[in-house]
Amino acid sequence: MKNKTVYIASDHAGYKLKTKLIKIFPEITDLGTNSDESVDYPDFAHKLTREVLKNNGNVGILICGTGVGMSIAANRKKGIRAGLVNNAKIARLIRKHNDANVLVLPGRFININEAKNSVQAFLSSKFESGRHKKRINKI
């Protein structure tokens, strides 16, 4: 994770999983929420995407109940490529093929082991460029 900051944020439905992931990955910067009290997921998606866009090497992890709301909100921001995953193989591929800079997890539908493996795969994978680069440029 050299030369990049990894951010994480969630809504209330993702809070429990986010808390567990921060214990496993203490180097990740937490942007909230800080409880399981109801909040609006777009607020946290926007907060995280602003930080990710400050430096080309930065990446983020968003968590909500299904992951769909966070995905939609994050992808509204130009320069963000957020991918919703439910396993490590997909997490690896969104980096390699889609140059994703935000990993989105479905807090209510993924267990901690698969979430941990997905984060590890996302953070350790690199964009393959080549044929994928021209596709990314069309977005």
* Catalytic sites, residue numbers: 97
Q: What's the rounded Cα separation, in Å, for the pair 104 and 114?
A: 13
Q: What's the rounded Cα separation, in Å, for the pair 103 and 121?
A: 10
70 φ, ψ to 5°? -60, -40
- 3-class SS of residue 59: strand
Under a CB-based contact definition with an 8 Å cutoff, are residues 11 and 64 in contact? yes
Q: How many residues does the chain have?
A: 139
29 φ, ψ to 5°? -90, 120
Q: What's the rounded Cα separation, in Å, for the pair 36 and 68?
A: 18
